[in-house]
Structure 1
Amino acid sequence: MKKILLVLMLFVGMTVQAQEVFNELRQKNKTVVENPQSSAIARGISQFKLDALNYLAIKMQEEMPDSSVYFLDNQAISMNEYVTYYIQKLVQYNEMPKALQEEMTKMFMEASKDNPLFKDKDKEMVLSYYNNGESLIRFSLDTNWEKALAYIKKKMAKNN
């Protein structure tokens, strides 16, 4: 399990240039999801990222049509970094008591839920991953990823 998580950390930790970030992240995650040789864990992580990116693009077009590509790219970068940071913490907490692991996971979940970008009323949809106990990535789709990332990094720094 440790080896799989370490490989995933390397996979999700890939850096992306700021030009066309959204499209590049979307394509990379789509490729992983569609590759039958990808591990179930990698596919699950990439499926969340792909769904989060698609949700972000659709909602921005509906509710923020005048927003810049820069804003979309920053949200995409922050979402990718948020998920990567979470996986790094999962690996780091792997040897710790289960209660601490659950507390850490809950902090990440709450940070995503408590920092909405659109305040979407369709809670069933935006919390579909959050409420799915089978999913490795249990975050809200309606998240201001920049704010959530800043919040969780500050919170994790206090706890260490």
Structure 2
Amino acid sequence: MSNIRITKQFNFETGHALYGYDGKCRNVHGHSYKLSVTVIGKPIKDSDNVKFGMVIDFGDLKKIVKEEIVDKFDHATVFNKNTPHVELANELEKRGHNVILVDYQPTSEQMVIDFSEKIKTRLPKNIQLHSLKLQETETSFAEWYASDN
């Protein structure tokens, strides 16, 4: 049976700042991110299986991405924990803000790598992560492909 790619799209709002950057993005700002998650696998052949004919139930994929990415990053502010931004992060947390400290510069490129690792660990063994597309603005995005890694 053929391999089939399944894609589900997600939206979330996240703030960030790029420490040491030489442009406007050094300032705290936010984006309406769009994340497209594509997995690949063979449709289930067992007609007694409730998921018969599916590669993966869209609801199952949604649960994984929601728990690993959307629920954590939506309306959060992301800072590199290895920069002086940690002081700002601590102050924001004291005031009740949702802050995520990561060990990378929170660019779309680095975030999509992080997301790929989080999603891959949760997928069933017979399903592989094929690609991710993280759209930061209407015209700017980063893509991750398993075949490139």
**What's the TM-score, normalizing by structure 2?**
0.30
Greater CA radius of gyration, 1 or 2?
2
**What's the TM-score, normalizing by structure 1?**
0.29
